[in-house]
Amino acid sequence: MSALDNLLNDLVIANRILAKEDVVDAYGHVSVRHPDRPDRFFLARSLAPEFITRDDILEFSLDGKVVDPNEKRAPYLERFIHGGIFESRPDVMAVVHAHAEDILPFGLTGNTPLRPVIHSGSFIGSNVPVWDIADKFGDTNLLVANVEQGQDLAKCLGSANIALMRGHGFAAAARSLIEVVRMSVYLPRNARALWRAKQLGGEIKYLSQGEIDARNRGYSPYSVETWRAWHYWATKAGVGKLVTRPTDPKAGKAAAKKPAKKAKPARRKK
Amino acid sequence: MSALDNLLNDLVIANRILAKEDVVDAYGHVSVRHPDRPDRFFLARSLAPEFITRDDILEFSLDGKVVDPNEKRAPYLERFIHGGIFESRPDVMAVVHAHAEDILPFGLTGNTPLRPVIHSGSFIGSNVPVWDIADKFGDTNLLVANVEQGQDLAKCLGSANIALMRGHGFAAAARSLIEVVRMSVYLPRNARALWRAKQLGGEIKYLSQGEIDARNRGYSPYSVETWRAWHYWATKAGVGKLVTRPTDPKAGKAAAKKPAKKAKPARRKK
Amino acid sequence: MSALDNLLNDLVIANRILAKEDVVDAYGHVSVRHPDRPDRFFLARSLAPEFITRDDILEFSLDGKVVDPNEKRAPYLERFIHGGIFESRPDVMAVVHAHAEDILPFGLTGNTPLRPVIHSGSFIGSNVPVWDIADKFGDTNLLVANVEQGQDLAKCLGSANIALMRGHGFAAAARSLIEVVRMSVYLPRNARALWRAKQLGGEIKYLSQGEIDARNRGYSPYSVETWRAWHYWATKAGVGKLVTRPTDPKAGKAAAKKPAKKAKPARRKK
Amino acid sequence: MSALDNLLNDLVIANRILAKEDVVDAYGHVSVRHPDRPDRFFLARSLAPEFITRDDILEFSLDGKVVDPNEKRAPYLERFIHGGIFESRPDVMAVVHAHAEDILPFGLTGNTPLRPVIHSGSFIGSNVPVWDIADKFGDTNLLVANVEQGQDLAKCLGSANIALMRGHGFAAAARSLIEVVRMSVYLPRNARALWRAKQLGGEIKYLSQGEIDARNRGYSPYSVETWRAWHYWATKAGVGKLVTRPTDPKAGKAAAKKPAKKAKPARRKK
């Protein structure tokens, strides 16, 4: 498999994991930047993530246009979320937009900012801004339906990893597919832990900035620990057989861009 | 398939979706108005929605009587909910009654009105009245067991889309089956988001009237986005193969009334 | 099938439903009084309810002794709950003991009595006493491990349908297996609705005594509506094929005591 | 099967149960001390517990080193939790570390100590200390990544059965695998009951010290009741066939150390 094939294969896996882990349902989507053309990204056609295969993935320019002029299938309405973030953040390689239920309350009230309280939630970062589409665009249907709205969301996101979207959901941006999936799975868990702790009362111990930094420093998408979750989630989602692993686990982020021999997935013994 | 066959096929799908999405269980039901005879509606015989097939669907007059004099199978006790709403609301084509657990608290206390806080909850409308059967009928078993009670519920509903029923559940009314199912699935989700936000404290940002209106204007039961959820839910409920699509996606609401060629359902690739 | 065979068949179904509906897990049990010998009852041997078949059911005297002197298999430790209630309540034909999680909080604080707030919760009755084993027996392992403790629990239950057991679970008593299963399934749902409404704040509208009475008057274990749930739950639990129905649906409670021809179960069409 | 084989077989079962019961997911692990060499313990290689088989289990010395010099597979990063506890607590035979979501809030706020409120939660003990890695090690990635950190956690645990780990999870220590699994399954349930009772308001009745002691005195890993849950959980987790039972159920804890004839597992009848 070429590096690009490998990446698109991972995008299929990412879709299935997000569906299985209840981050997306009929709605929500995940994209990845083109490894060789930073002005392009890949995103599925308008279809529930649980059903997505390689054939459903389309190539887009950053203004949300489908590259292939012969493509007749409808794209996602909110592809401008992805385009806007890829445009403003050259460091970002993968984006998720979803409506995961347990994060919604934190976008509805200014009372409690969503911040990391558990170690697996550290990657959401110490600042999770809330974007309210009404601030700039007034009364809309709340969907990010054009380039300008996507850019405004990206502006609110700034250099953060996650932006909550008031009354709607969230957008997550990361350096790799594995990382953006991981962040999207742990974001609702961190939200639940915080929501429950608030009800116990008393002062809450958030992760310190130093702890968040320490976790970021140690993170590698191909470490044994990170890979364990990716393989586990993919297997649960029924696509364990699609999982491939770069030959050199130390290659880290770069690995996704190089041709990698198909490694044998860790097989479940019977 | 004739337009009527198509509609009854959709009614079967609606039953299965509501069961799979935990809106109904042994109890709860969904009806659709007869497309050619506004004084008639279709509703299953007394059976859990998860088990319903085309053969279980009966035709009723608005006073809740089974049209077929030879029909021996028992109808739902609470069919008067449907008759009452279809009688008072000529614009309504489909009705759901259910006990979905997470909406119940909002019918038990006057403290917190159930209003849209998330975009997918917009269709419940800005005003969700609470009907208390005791107000007019005193001590009953809380079931809507006759024409008069059905009419009283419809009166409380007025021009709204949803009425909560104190200590019991809700009734939802919409322009199409797809819409009433969608509303019934997102109603509990909106209720949970509001309930959790209340516990975080602080002022809650509800959807504005302008946002609710904007979403209503943009809504079409056969848009790509709406169809995506219908297809997704049907597939999860095991009836993906029953899904048909009108030939012209732009035909909108009218399509359900016209003979439509059976379209190939979007197939899951393997 | 004889009336007794029918009843024991129903006891197997009851076990499976309670397991599937998360009322019991490895622990918890359901019993039925012997229809011809009021001083005897049937209860499974010590085994998780999900696994129970006809062969696992033993016959007990009211003091919790296994009737068959050759029986070597271990009985449930807490069989005295059943014996105690059957002894003190001649009207009771079936008993459930379980640890269903969502009712536990109501036994831990005197602040909020568990009372019916939803129509399906009416059968728990307007008074649900909380039994604390420590009141009479001091520091124990909280299990009802002898005749005296079973009798004390029954005394606390009095003429009620449900007693909560502090730090442990609940005991439910009813006129039939169908009724005791139904009550045990809806008890946690009523508890959740009340718990959530409490958090919304404001005054809660409980079912009135008149409403509870009206529902009790209308109740029949073989009504179309009650049967619908029994058949639905049994099918979900994988024992739909075991379901039999008395020939005369109007026979009501008495039917369980008379030989009943095996009726064809309502079949799921395909 | 030899006693050691039996024990490792039980360790596989323990892994699968913890996965099925949502105590662990991609992360979390369970270990058992070597029955003949108290300075050694067994723990799986770095793999999600749901996938673990006999071949994945490695032998470690108490400083977290793999005994087999030829072993190439990566161990869990946090194996020092196990080593630290086995070193400081000669009475402990089995250890679990996990992130079970519902216990997390209790480590985030000093307001509400996690104490037993339900009988099945008694084994967590009357004192559940909260270990904060930052107290001694400052800003870390929160993982227990070396001997010193493992020893510090063990010191905080002291003679208790459970230590919460702030922003991370918990560590549980017990006299046997069956007991440590049981404790880990009931810990989140006890946490939920306490969390919900707190919200009902009023004073909470915790288990008394006398009740906790009474339950401890009566506990035996091979009692009929304890075994029932082990067999039930294993069957649900798909490894019912792996379950073996010591020939003498009265043998208690010692049984795990002696060669035991393979007993026929209680079979599910059809």
The enclosing H or E element of B133 equals helix B133-137
Which is more confidently placed, D173 or C222? D173
Q: Considering only the beta carbons, identify the residue of D119, D200, D225 that sits closest to C167.
A: D119
Of D48, D50, D141, the CB nearest to A218: D141
Q: Tokens 């909280």 identify what position?
A: C142
Q: Which of A50, A101, A141 sits opposite B119 (nearest CB)?
A: A141
Does B110 lie at the interface with A, CB-CB under 8 angstroms? no
Q: Tokens 């009771």, residue?
A: C92
Confidence tier at B219 by pLDDT (50, 70, 90): confident
Q: What angle do CA D8, D13, D14 make, to 5 degrees?
A: 90
Task: Using DSSP bridges, classify how beta strands C162-165 and C130-131 pair: parallel, antiparallel or unpaired.
Answer: parallel
Burial string for A17-38 (b: 16+ CB within 10 Å, else e) reads bbbbbebbbbbbbbbbbbbeee
> Mean pLDDT across the stretch C23-47?
98
Q: Spell out the alpha helix ranges (H) of B36-78.
A: none
- Which strands make up the sheet holding A40-44, listed edge to edge? A57-61, A40-44, A29-33, A94-98, A169-174, A162-165, A130-131
Distance CA A232, CA A209 (A): 29
The amino acid sitting at D142 is L
pLDDT of residue D135: 98
Whether B134 and C213 lie within 8 Å, measured CB to CB:
no
The band of A131, judged by pLDDT with boundaries at 50, 70 and 90, is very high
Q: What does the pLDDT read at residue C121? A: 97
Mean pLDDT value across chain A = 91
Residue A222: the pLDDT is: 76
Task: Name the catalytic one among A21, A59, A78, A101.
Answer: A78
Can you tell me the distance from the alpha carbon of B57 to that of A22, in angstroms, rounded to the nearest whole number? 33
Return the structure tokens found at D157: 């645990």
Task: Return the minimum-mean-pLDDT range out of A210-219, A250-259, C141-150, D191-200.
Answer: A250-259
Instruction: Give the separation between CA B47 and CA B50, rounded to whole angstroms.
Output: 8
* Closest-CA distance of chain A to residue B215, Å: 5
User: A110: which chain B residues are within 8 Å (Cβ-Cβ)?
Assistant: 202-203
The two beta strands, D130-131 and D162-165, are: parallel
Give the pLDDT score at B111.
82
Q: Which one of A250-259, B124-133, C217-226 scores highest in mean pLDDT? A: B124-133
Confidence of residue A111 (pLDDT cuts 50, 70, 90): confident
pLDDT band for position D86 (cuts 50, 70, 90): very high
Structure tokens at D5: 């084989």
Average pLDDT over residues A98-114: 94
pLDDT (tens digit, 9 = 90+) per residue, B80-121?
Answer: 999 999 999 999 999 999 999 999 999 999 888 999 999 999
pLDDT at D80: 98
Instruction: List Cα–Cα distances, B40 to B43, B66, B88, B93, B154, in angstroms.
Output: 10, 10, 13, 11, 17
Mean pLDDT of B43-70: 98
Residue D135: CB atoms within 10 Å:
10
Q: What is the pLDDT of residue A252?
A: 40
Whole-number Å distance between alpha carbons of D93 and D252: 14
- From the list C29, B216, C39, D45, the residue with the least C-alpha distance to A140 is B216
Q: Is C78 among the residues known to form the active site? A: yes
Q: What is the pLDDT of residues A215-257, one digit of tens each?
A: 988 877 778 888 999 999 999 999 999 998 765 444 344 333 3
Dihedral of alpha carbons A143, A149, A151, A152, sign: negative
* Phi, psi of B66, rounded to the nearest 5 degrees: -70, 130
The strand pairing partners of C95, in sequence order, are: C31, C173
Looking at CA atoms only, how far is residue D110 from chain A in angstroms?
A: 7
Q: How far is B197 from B204, CA to CA, in rounded Å?
A: 7
Chain D residue closest in CA terms to A216? D141
Please tell me if residue D262 touches chain C, with a CB cutoff of 8 Å: no
Nearest-angstrom CA–CA distance, B242 and B262:
10
Picking from D102, D122, D178, D199 by the largest number of C CB atoms within 10 A of its own CB, the best residue to mutate is D199
Residue D26: closest C-alpha in chain A = A229
Provide the 3-class DSSP secondary structure of residue D78: coil
Top residue of A21, A189, A196 to mutate, by most chain D CBs within 10 Å, is A196
Instruction: Please indicate whether, in this complex, the C-beta atoms of B51 and C268 are within 8 angstroms of each other.
Output: yes
Is residue D199 within 8 angstroms of chain A, CB to CB?
yes
Amino acid at A245: R
- Report CA Rg, chain D: 18
Which has the minimum average pLDDT: B199-203, C84-88, C231-235, D65-69? B199-203
Closest CA to A107 of A133, A137, A145, A73: A133
Nearest CA-CA partner of D88 in D122, D59, D63? D63
Where do we find the tokens 């056609």?
A45
Q: pLDDT value at position B245?
A: 76
The answer to whether the CB of D197 falls within 8 A of the CB of D52 is: no
Q: Give the span between the Cα atoms of C181 and B201, in whole angstroms.
A: 39
For residue D51, how far is the Cα from the chain centroid? 18
Reported as type and span, the H/E element at residue B135 is helix B133-137
Tell me, what DSSP letter sits at residue D204?
B
What gap in Å lies between CA B31 and CA B12, rounded to an integer? 10
pTM of the predicted model, to two decimals? 0.92
Q: What is the pLDDT of residue C218?
A: 81
pLDDT digits 0-9 by tens, A164-180: 999 999 999 999 999 99
**Which is more confident, A256 or C137?**
C137
In which band, very low, low, confident or very high, does the pLDDT at B220 lie, cut at 50, 70 and 90?
Answer: confident
**Cα gap C106→C124, rounded to integer Å:** 14
CA-based nearest distance A217→chain B, Å: 32
Q: What percent of chain D has pLDDT over 70?
A: 90
Say if residues D40 and D7 touch (Cβ distance below 8 Å). no
| DSSP annotation of D270 | -
| C257 pLDDT more than 90 | no
C102 at B interface, C-beta within 8 A: no
Tell me: pLDDT of B251 over 60: no
Tell me the DSSP string of C164-231: EETTTEEEEEESSHHHHHHHHHHHHHHHHHHHHHHHH-S-B-PPPHHHHHHHHHH--TTSHHHHHHHH
**pLDDT of the residue at B144:** 98
Residue of chain B nearest C208, judged by CA positions: B139
What ipTM was estimated for this complex?
0.90
Residues C199 and B199 sit within 8 Å (Cβ to Cβ): yes
Is residue A117's pLDDT more than 60?
Answer: yes
Average confidence (pLDDT) over C4-21: 97
pLDDT > 90: what percent of chain B? Answer: 83
| Three-class DSSP labels, chain A | CCHHHHHHHHHHHHHHHHHHCCCCCCCCEEEEECCCCCCEEEEEECCCHHHCCHHHEEEEECCCCECCCCCCCCECCCHHHHHHHHHHCCCCCEEEEECCHHHHHHHHECCCCCCCCCHHHHHHCCCCCEECHHHHHCCCCCCCCCHHHHHHHHHHHCCCCEEEECCCEEEEEECCHHHHHHHHHHHHHHHHHHHHHHHHCCCECCCCHHHHHHHHHHCCCCCHHHHHHHHHHHHHCCCHHHCCCCCCHHHHHHHHHCCCCCCCCCCCCC
Average pLDDT estimate for A151-159: 98
3-state secondary structure of C30: strand
Taking residues D91-102, report their average pLDDT.
97
- Band of the pLDDT at D253, cuts 50, 70, 90? very low
D266: pLDDT strictly greater than 70:
no
CB B181 within 8 A of CB A84: no
- C81-85, C198-202, C258-262: range with highest mean pLDDT: C81-85
Averaged pLDDT of chain B: 91
Residues on chain C touching B112 (C-beta within 8 angstroms): 200-202
Which one has a higher pLDDT value, B15 or A220? Answer: B15
CA distance to partner chain C, nearest, from residue B67 (Å): 20
